[in-house]
Chain A
Amino acid sequence: MTQAPPREYFEFFGLAPALSLDAADLQKRFYELSRKWHPDRFSARPPEEQQIALDATATLNDAYRTLRDPVRRAEYVLTRNGFPIGEQRTKDVPPELLEEVFELNMALEELRSGDSGVRPQLESAREHFLSLRAAVDGELEELFRSHDSGGGETVLSAIRGVLNRRRYIENLVREVEKALGARATA
């Protein structure tokens, strides 16, 4: 009789819950598990087993989508460790970050209302936001390593802070790209 696989993503992949992981290894495991649980292989089995295979495939796809993306992977680990994003209040966002994001948004808004002449400024704003995002991703990588070598709660809460910051920067990137896109079609 086929047993249902673990619902926990790392366990399903046979991995330790580490934040740094090898993308090629993850992909290899994903292909192997996809073959193992492919519903076609269960077509001659009893209905309960077919259902298990179907559920396993759905979980596997969710798990792979989550684990292969560093930000989603970190969100998953944080949520499982009691640092979910949903229950936060303002106090968890440092005032300097809000000031900075507010100023960046103001500058972007001013550029968006400008004529086609502001395109170079929009492009340099995009470069700036992308470099902020790259810096945040570098910070995350380092924190992932500290987490994996037993960093504990302090590191998890630092990761929470960096992910919050990243979300704000991601919004700015999206807004500036929208502004550039609108100008390209005009």
Chain B
Amino acid sequence: MAYSNKVLDHYNNPRNVGSMDKNDPDVGTGMVGAPECGDVMKLQVKVNPATGIIEDAKFKTFGCGSAIASSSLATEMLKGRTVDEALSIKNTEIVNELALPPVKIHCSVLAEDAIKAAITDYKEKSASRTNATVA
């Protein structure tokens, strides 16, 4: 098996597995999937609304070792960043960090998509909350 040590580490000791209340207004949830392998990945961020900083991140992935490692690493990268910094995370950073082979690059793309989906969900929630306060 050609998994790198870093993939194996994240696969055997995944960081931040779990879930948060998706109805919490400070939580953004991203659910994405890769039909070519049947993977499904849920990634959540909890944002401090005053600072815009991601204070916690959780994930749960059903898929191959690289998909689990990619999402585990993504949650580690997210903590402490602002939501806008989070949006600039590229899948290539995950590829490099985990030394993913070409056939597994789509797993890192899935993790990037999950980050974007979670941040977008948070932003939509906070926008509708602002509108509600105004109205």
Q: Real complex partners, A and B?
A: yes
A interface residues with partner B (beta carbon < 8 Å) = 85-86, 88-90, 92-93, 95, 97-99, 101-102, 105-106, 109, 163-164, 167-168, 170-171
The reply to whether B35 and A85 contact each other, CB–CB distance below 8 Å, is: yes
CB nearest neighbor in A for B62: A105
Asked if B80 is at the interface of the complex by the 8 Å CB criterion, the answer is no
Tell me the count of chain B residues lying within 8 A, CB to CB, of chain A.
16
In whole angstroms, how far apart are the Cα atoms of A164 and B78 in the complex?
Answer: 30
Q: Are A105 and B40 in contact (CB under 8 A)?
A: yes
Is the pair A168, B31 in contact by a Cβ cutoff of 8 Å? no
Q: How far is the CA of A109 from the CA of B18 in the complex (A)?
A: 13
- Residues of chain B whose beta carbon lies under 8 Å from any beta carbon of chain A: 31-38, 40, 42, 60, 62, 109-110, 113, 117
Q: For the complex formed, measure the closest distance between the CB of B124 and the CB atoms of chain A, giving whole angstroms.
A: 14
Please, how many angstroms separate the alpha-carbon atoms of A163 and B113 in the complex? 22
C-alpha spacing A97/B34, complex, angstroms: 12
Q: Judging by beta carbons under 8 Å apart, are A89 and B40 in contact?
A: no
Q: A161 — nearest CB in chain B belongs to which residue?
A: B35
- Knowing A99-B31, A102-B62, A105-B62, say if A171 contacts B38 (CB, 8 Å): yes
Q: What are 18 A-B pairs at a CB distance below 8 A?
A: A86-B36, A88-B35, A90-B110, A90-B117, A93-B32, A93-B33, A93-B35, A98-B33, A98-B40, A101-B62, A102-B31, A102-B40, A105-B62, A164-B35, A168-B33, A168-B38, A170-B38, A171-B38
B32 proximity list for chain A (CB < 8 A): 90, 93, 98
Q: Judging by beta carbons under 8 Å apart, are B62 and A85 in contact? A: no
